[in-house]
Amino acid sequence: MKYFLSTELRNKFSILLQKKMLLAFDLDGTLSPLVSDPLAARISDDTYRLLCELNNLNRQSRLAHTGHRLAIITGRSISDTRRIINDRSILIIGNHGLESPFFNQEIKARWKKRCREIKKKLQENLSLEDCFLEDKKYSLSIHFTNKKRVRAKLNLLGKVQREYLSLIQGLLSKEETVVLGKNVINILPAEGVTKGLVVTKLIAKYRLSGALFVGDDCTDETVFRLRNKNIIKIRVGRSLSSSANYYLRSQKEINRLLKFLSSVNL
């Protein structure tokens, strides 16, 4: 794993980024700082301004058929994400990819119904006092609260998560799967819905040369594991277990990355 913002790498990628690419970003922990309450997540004014500037640059050059495509690919629902990113010209893919042009209304309606059934089961069978069950219409997330986050420092979160995990798995059918994130358990369709799949489909749909993707969590690893050499995979925070090739030192460096991407767009 190499540090992406080194001068040497920035020079190397300035050339690669002359091609028409997908510039895709996860939201929580990537564009916005990670917070324990998902409703409290905010993007800083500076990051939002830089993101909009980059998107506008891309849109202008796209008229000349040379521009990149910018997208946010998040586990949040699109309507929830619009609360944080309200620039309508920015493409948002929600629910880990399920809310995208690649899944039709019939599939979404089936999932919406299934999520309601699972939510009822969870409410009946789990003690959700220390957790927050987030209904994202097409998927569900169980967030651990601050109390559990403190326990994580004592290495107890693994135990707590395992307990919840086995309880949840007992309530699900083969059509659903759980994906662990940072202090969150996501319940998703078992097959075919990953950020990795969406990145591949976006590259094909817009006939792009490749992608630059930035993320920080387990669900982003589905992009980092793609075997396409034309995808620049950047993780927020260095990690030996990640399949990403590059890293930013912390979420605070996202502004430097956005500035760099705008500079190579000019």
Candidate segments 23-31, 43-51, 93-101, 165-173, binder of Mg ion by CB under 5 A: 23-31
Candidate segments 52-60, 97-105, 212-220, 249-257, binder of Mg ion by CB under 5 A: 212-220
The distance of closest approach from Cβ of residue 182 to Mg ion in the complex, given in angstroms and rounded to an integer, is 7
The closest of 258, 265, 250, 215 to 46, measured between CA atoms, is 258
Instruction: Please give the Cα distance from 250 to 239 (Å, whole number).
Output: 12
Rule CB under 5 A: choose which of 17, 20, 26, 68 binds Mg ion.
26
Q: Cα torsion at 153, 158, 159, 160 (round to 10°)? A: 80
Q: Of 29 and 196, which CB lies nearer to Mg ion in the complex structure?
A: 29
Q: Inter-axis angle of helices 7-16 and 254-265, to 10 degrees?
A: 40
Candidate segments 22-30, 82-90, 95-103, 190-198, binder of Mg ion by CB under 5 A: 22-30
CB burial of residue 26 (10 Å; 0-12, 13-18, 19+): buried
Q: How many residues bind Mg ion (CB under 5 A)?
A: 5
Q: Of 38 and 61, which CB lies nearer to Mg ion in the complex structure?
A: 38
28 binds Mg ion (CB under 5 A): yes
Instruction: Say if CB 223 and CB 200 are below 8 A apart.
Output: no
Instruction: Say if CB 36 and CB 43 are below 8 A apart.
Output: no
Q: Cα torsion at 180, 28, 211, 226 (round to 10°)? A: -10
Q: Of 57 and 92, which CB lies nearer to Mg ion in the complex structure?
A: 92
The distance of closest approach from Cβ of residue 61 to Mg ion in the complex, given in angstroms and rounded to an integer, is 28
Instruction: Please give the Cα distance from 83 to 39 (Å, whole number).
Output: 10
Q: Of 28 and 80, which CB lies nearer to Mg ion in the complex structure?
A: 28
221 binds Mg ion (CB under 5 A): no
Residue nearest Mg ion, Cβ-based: 29
216 binds Mg ion (CB under 5 A): yes
29 binds Mg ion (CB under 5 A): yes
217 binds Mg ion (CB under 5 A): yes
Give the binding site for Mg ion (CB under 5 A): 26, 28-29, 216-217
